[in-house]
């Protein structure tokens, strides 16, 4: 009986800590209420407060909007807007090629 009680207390504590951390550390503003109200609800209303946070209060990140020239399709692989790495940048590769040719001419 004591083991079950200890387990329930630890589970409740874990839920409260996870909900408060998620509430305070989120990038997006919570739905319905402010962060301070959500923290009070999570802490003062046992078990239900944490469940309410994860089901009602937690903000969903905005969905990416299809960009221009992509046909409006949200599926398929996403292409980066600019070069990701130096070896993917055509200007960088041209500059390296030019430098190598200049060095070979000097030799």
Specify the number of domains making up the chain. Answer: 1
Where in the sequence is the domain holding 49, given as residue range(s)?
A: 2-57
pLDDT, tens digit (0-9, with 9 covering 90-100), for 24-72: 887 788 888 888 998 999 999 988 999 988 888 887 766 766 655 555 5
**101 is a domain residue:** no
Q: Quick check: is 68 in a domain?
A: no
Nearest partner of 31 among 6, 52, 45, 10, judged by Cα: 52
Q: pTM for the whole thing? A: 0.54
Query: Is residue 32 assigned to a domain?
Result: yes
Residue 95 lies in a domain: no
Residue 76 placed within a domain: no
Residue that the structure tokens 């299809």 belong to? 66
Q: Which of 16-25, 86-95, 97-106 has the lowest mean pLDDT?
A: 86-95
The terminus-to-terminus CA distance of the chain in angstroms comes to 85
Q: Is residue 106 part of a domain?
A: no
């Amino acid at each position: 009986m004591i083991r079950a009680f200890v387990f329930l207390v630890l589970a409740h504590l874990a839920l409260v800590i996870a909900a408060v951390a998620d509430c305070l550390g989120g990038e997006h503003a919570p739905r319905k209420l402010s962060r301070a109200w959500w923290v009070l609800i999570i802490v003062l209303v046992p078990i239900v407060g944490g469940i309410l946070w994860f089901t009602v209060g937690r903000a969903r990140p905005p969905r990416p909007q299809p960009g221009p020239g992509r046909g409006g399709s949200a599926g398929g692989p996403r292409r980066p807007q600019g070069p990701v790495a130096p070896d993917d940048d055509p200007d960088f590769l041209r500059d390296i090629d030019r430098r190598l040719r200049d060095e070979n001419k000097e030799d």
